[in-house]
Chain A
Amino acid sequence: MKFAIALFSAPHAPSSRRALLFAQAALAGGHEIVRLFFYQDGVHSASSSVVTPQDEQDLPRQWADFVSEHQLDGVVCIAAALRRGVLDDEEAQRYQRSAVNLTAPWALSGLGQLHDAVQAADRLICFGGP
């Protein structure tokens, strides 16, 4: 079964962790994840500038490790990311901002990638809210 997984919440929201555990269980069950698409506040879950207290779960790090380890297609919506200050090197230069907080394995792209994932997958699963 092919899944497209969309995340709409920041890393401190329980739903970001829930999405990660669902994605891990899907792969462990022998299923495929055609794309992860982070939209709305979900863009913060890909941010490398989040600093988590040492005794708490570092969700952005765990997400990035998960995407790297399984060589997944991790797409962050560019419009939602710009609005919320999540920038890769290219966008930081373009808008002359001092901080870059989006790096590999993540890629900025447009909403077309969400639709493309819906078409390619058997199931779209969204996570967000609390």
Chain B
Amino acid sequence: MSKSLLIISRQAPWSGPAAREALDIVLAGGAFDLPIGLLFMDDGVFQLMPGQNAKALQQKDLTANLQALSLFGIDALYACADSLADRGIFPTQVAGEDLEVLTAEELGALVNRYDQVITL
């Protein structure tokens, strides 16, 4: 059985290539049909915000890649409830079909469920 991998993405989409490169790990894992989870935490939750305009900074739109996740078989998507609350974001603002918002306790359980973790 394949080992499962949880990616914890903590970077905002506008702070350089880190958020994109975290997502690339997820997409590559999906392309190999591996069990991959993606948790948005800290500034990483900003990746989920509606109303982003990548063109204003002459960048590519990361949200399009997020929407492609399900095509790659990635449907284990999570967001940290505390990170959202700290930033004044309502879970309903970022709610997607597959996104699950987790409390601190549930986060610990989530990390436990995966074989390996990369936090970046």
Contact = CB atoms under 8 A, between A and B. Distances in A.
The reply to whether A and B meet directly (CB within 8 Å) is: yes
B3 A79 contact: no
Question: Size range of the interface on A?
Answer: 10 to 19
Contacts of B3: 118-119
A55 to B, nearest CB: 32
Interface in B71-120: 116, 118-120
A109 B28 CA distance: 12
Interface of A: 6, 8, 39-40, 79-80, 83, 110-112, 114-115, 118-119, 123-124, 126, 128
Given A6-B118, A115-B29, A118-B116, 13 more contacts: A39-B25, A40-B18, A111-B24, A112-B28, A112-B31, A114-B28, A115-B5, A115-B28, A115-B34, A118-B5, A119-B2, A126-B118, A126-B119
Interface of B: 2-3, 5, 17-18, 21, 24-25, 28-29, 31-32, 34, 116, 118-120
